[in-house]
Amino acid sequence: MAAERAGGGGRARKVVPKSDHDFVTGTSYAPAPESSDHVKLAKNYDLFIGGKWVKAGKRMKTVNPATEKVLAEVGEAGAKEVDLAVKAARKAHDSVWGKMPGRERGKYLFRVARLLQERAREFAIIESMDGGKPIRESRDVDLPLVAAHFFYHAGWADKLEYAFPGRKPRPLGVAGQIIPWNFPLLMAAWKLAPALACGNTVVLKPAETTPLTALKLAGLFEEAEFPDGVVNIVTGGGATGQALVEHPGLDKIAFTGSTAVGKMIQRSLAKSGKRHTLELGGKAAHLIFEDAPINQAVEGIVNGIFFNQGHVCCAGSRLLVQEGVAEEVIRKLKRRMETLVVGDPLDKNTDIGAINSQEQLGRITKLVACGTEEGARCWQSGQQLPGRGYWFKPTLFTDCAQSHRVVQEEIFGPVLAIQTFRTTEEGIEKANNTPYGLSGGVWTDKGSKIFKVAGAMRAGVLWANTYNKFDPTSPFGGYKESGVGREGGVHGLGGYLELQE
């Protein structure tokens, strides 16, 4: 196991412990950084509009959060550029893409899927450099899922009539799509693939801190010879997103991001006639019962909250553990947290990479301080954090009350709030007691308990004896303040179609 972990087939080197943390874990790994020599990044990137690279009036920098070094400058689209992009998308929809037979659209999407597979290594490295996530995740989770999304939806392009029997599916027209920084390329794939398969054209705005893989993806659309204007990528910050939402030339807004911005978007769309889907925040709970496979559950909890630095909307950020096993679970969890490798995202041994931005690090730090002030007990593992860049130690809170902010609010960092419960009913009630309802987890040996909990949890996705598993065939979305509509699977297609009788 150690040999596998120490760098893709390399040999693990037992090193003399240099810190208390090494004594606790007993091992540390020789560095195994992925080479970035073959990655080609330009100094500047323009906006991708109407099949051409268009200069924006303003530029902004994107940095590597692990080193604080500037990676590139990208355009900051204003209302004028957003307008150009929407007009290009409309023209492409009305003249080519909306009329194209599904089997032809499918061929373009298959081409992009294959190009993504061919270039997966380069894309994974850029994703880790721009966003801070460990290469093991961008390489083994994000990129395979991105390609799978394009393959899956390419397959639907000529079969939409079969997805909705007795109805005539028609594209909506032009979709404006806004995505966050936690899974930059995967969120782009979640948005683009179904929209394009259904015959819509798109204007996509990536997040300000992670624009690079979306711009690289624009290059693949060029390489796949998509007709001009079918996909337009406009980089920029919140103001660019707002200009897109407010543009009267769109038929649909698809947004993934925070609940606060989602609510603003919903207000601004009221009476506009535009369709919308919103994928928003979450505060998911794991329920661990006394009969659960405890070691497996501990691994699942670690994966659920420390995976991708806790920058996951469906992160299992609350743990509800049945009283009889609480002490054992917490003890094992702390021991496992000590063994997590925090550091260089490009090192294949790394479990927890860099926090995406200084702003996000500030938000996490503030909420964690608030947890202690409100009376919860904070525990952090003993890793040494790198000197430069944005980092946060794996953290857990015990002695939490339901009213604590660390229990109620989304922290979006590697921070777990732990509470206990006695009966199944109490566990379910506590799990549902948040404004969110995106996901949840249940850990038990008993199948009937899984069905009972799954039926009673007000959450869009529920994993049983596992966590954070994704598949393009499966719909994803939230209850309550976690969103409106579903993405993925047949349900997701419905969000991009007019279904005529």
Task: List the one residue from 209, 242, 277, 322 that touches Mg ion (CB under 5 A).
Answer: 209
Q: How many Å apart are CA 123 and CA 116, to the nearest integer?
A: 8
Q: From the candidates 81, 127, 313, 409, which is the catalytic residue?
A: 313
486, burial (CB in 10 Å: exposed 0-12, middle 13-18, buried 19+): buried
- For ligand NAP, give the closer residue by CB, 30 or 60: 60
Question: Is residue 406 helix, strand or coil?
Answer: helix
Which residues, in sequence order, are bridge partners of residue 202? 175, 231
User: Is residue 127 near ligand NAP by the rule CB under 6 A?
Assistant: no
Task: List the one residue from 264, 378, 490, 499 that touches ligand NAP (CB under 6 A).
Answer: 264
Q: How many Å apart are CA 167 and CA 363, to the nearest integer?
A: 47
- For ligand NAP, give the closer residue by CB, 105 or 191: 191
229, burial (CB in 10 Å: exposed 0-12, middle 13-18, buried 19+): buried
CA distances from 400 to 65, 144, 321, 326, 477 (A): 31, 38, 12, 13, 28
CA distances from 162 to 107, 157, 457, 475 (A): 19, 11, 32, 18
- Stretch of residues binding ligand NAP (CB under 6 A), selected from 39-47, 136-144, 159-167, 173-181: 173-181
User: Is residue 344 near Mg ion by the rule CB under 5 A?
Assistant: no
- Stretch of residues binding ligand NAP (CB under 6 A), selected from 61-69, 135-143, 193-201, 278-286: 278-286
Residues 461-465: contacts with CB under 8 Å, at least 24 apart: 461/314, 463/439, 465/292, 465/293, 465/296, 465/297, 465/300
Q: Other C-beta atoms within 10 Å of 489: how many?
A: 18
Least distance CB 262 / ligand NAP (angstroms): 7
User: Is residue 60 near ligand NAP by the rule CB under 6 A?
Assistant: no
DSSP annotation of 140 = I
Least distance CB 294 / ligand NAP (angstroms): 28
Q: How many Å apart are CA 104 and CA 475, to the nearest integer?
A: 25
- Stretch of residues binding Mg ion (CB under 5 A), selected from 61-69, 191-199, 294-302, 431-439: 61-69
Task: List the one residue from 25, 28, 62, 232 that touches Mg ion (CB under 5 A).
Answer: 62
- Stretch of residues binding ligand NAP (CB under 6 A), selected from 51-59, 69-77, 205-213, 293-301: 205-213
Q: From the candidates 279, 409, 481, 487, which is the catalytic residue?
A: 279
The entry of ligand NAP, Mg ion, none near residue 62 (CB within 5 to 8 angstroms by kind) is Mg ion
Site string for ligand NAP, 431-460 (x = CB under 6 A): -------x----------------------
Least distance CB 489 / ligand NAP (angstroms): 14
Number of residues that bind Mg ion (CB under 5 A): 3
> Which string of DSSP letters, residue by residue, matches 149-199?
HHHHHHHHTT-HHHHSTTSEEEE-SEEEEE--SSSHHHHHHHHHHHHHHTT
- Stretch of residues binding Mg ion (CB under 5 A), selected from 55-63, 309-317, 381-389, 407-415: 55-63
- For ligand NAP, give the closer residue by CB, 256 or 420: 256
User: Is residue 483 near ligand NAP by the rule CB under 6 A?
Assistant: yes
**Interface residue list for Mg ion (CB under 5 A):** 62, 130, 209
**Interface residue list for ligand NAP (CB under 6 A):** 178-182, 205, 207-208, 237-238, 241-242, 245, 256-258, 261, 264-265, 279-282, 313, 410, 412, 438, 478, 483
Q: Please identify every residue annotated as catalytic.
A: 279, 313
